[in-house]
Amino acid sequence: MKYLGNLLNLLFPSKCPVCGSKSDDHLYNPFCTKCWRGIEKYSVPACNICGIPTVSSLTITCESCLKTKPPFSKVLYYGIYDGALKEAIHLLKFNGVKRLSKPLSLLLSELPIPEADGIIPVPLHHKRLHQREFNQTASMSRHLSKNLKIPLMLNVLRKTKETLPQTDVTGKERLKNVKNAFKVSSIVEGLNLLLVDDVITTGATVRECAKALIKAGAKSVTVVALARSMPKQNT
């Protein structure tokens, strides 16, 4: 089905998955320019480490990060996991619309990314990689590496434990699910690294990845993600 979808995509002009109008730019096809440009950069007061929105009008460190210092030095993300951004990540991740990794990587490039020695994508377990055929995060990292002229370090971080999809487990279980799931298989000693992920939910995955990298001797890990999903508010 995936191949058929790809073929249809190629043969027929696509409709924007958000508004249904005809896509008008090949760069972010199938999205229309209006919907793509409508992806908003998120900027509200947030924790200066984990990026979670804070109630204060100032950028400060949240209670949780003050209590336990995270293994990463900062989490940068472009927007909220919603609307066109959510749709685009979904198409890239589950429908194999690989060309979207380029425009999405351009969004990442707009973030205030610090100088770094290498870019490391959050890995997939080899079985999952086999099912999906490609790692969307690695694909975005490849473009980001070109955009920023920072070396891409593939296969340095490996996922050695098969885990349930984080979306299938609840809040507290997420940390347990990914615990010790990652191994560092190459030398990262003394390096300042960028860890790339698509969506951050509880941050459990990037936390475990960063922990493994720091344990292996990395000097610092900055998390760079496309989106952050916001905790649901019951009104």
Stretch that binds Zn ion, among 10-18, 148-156, 190-198, 219-227 (CB under 5 A): 10-18
In terms of CB distance, is 65 or 106 closer to Zn ion?
65
Q: State the number of binding residues for Zn ion (CB under 5 A).
A: 10
Residue 214 CB, shortest distance to Zn ion, in Å, is 17
Provide the sign of the torsion angle of the four alpha carbons 162, 167, 169, 170, taken in this order: positive
Residues 6 or more apart whose CB falls under 8 angstroms from that of 203 comprise 50, 70, 75
Stretch that binds Zn ion, among 48-56, 109-117, 160-168, 171-179 (CB under 5 A): 48-56
- What is the residue-wise DSSP string for 176-203? HHHTT-EEE-S--TT-EEEEEEEEESSS
Can you tell me the distance from the alpha carbon of 62 to that of 74, in angstroms, rounded to the nearest whole number? Answer: 12
Among residues 39, 49, 144, 213, the one that binds Zn ion under rule CB under 5 A: 49
Stretch that binds Zn ion, among 41-49, 87-95, 109-117, 188-196 (CB under 5 A): 41-49
Can you tell me the distance from the alpha carbon of 229 to that of 201, in angstroms, rounded to the nearest whole number? Answer: 5
- Measure the CA dihedral 185/225/106/1, to 10°: 80
164 binds Zn ion, rule: CB under 5 A = no
Q: How crowded is residue 232: how many other Cβ atoms within 10 Å of its Cβ?
A: 6
60 binds Zn ion, rule: CB under 5 A = no
In terms of CB distance, is 19 or 230 closer to Zn ion?
19
Among residues 35, 156, 157, 194, the one that binds Zn ion under rule CB under 5 A: 35
18 binds Zn ion, rule: CB under 5 A = yes
**Binding positions for Zn ion, rule: CB under 5 A:** 16, 18-19, 32, 35, 47, 49-50, 62, 65
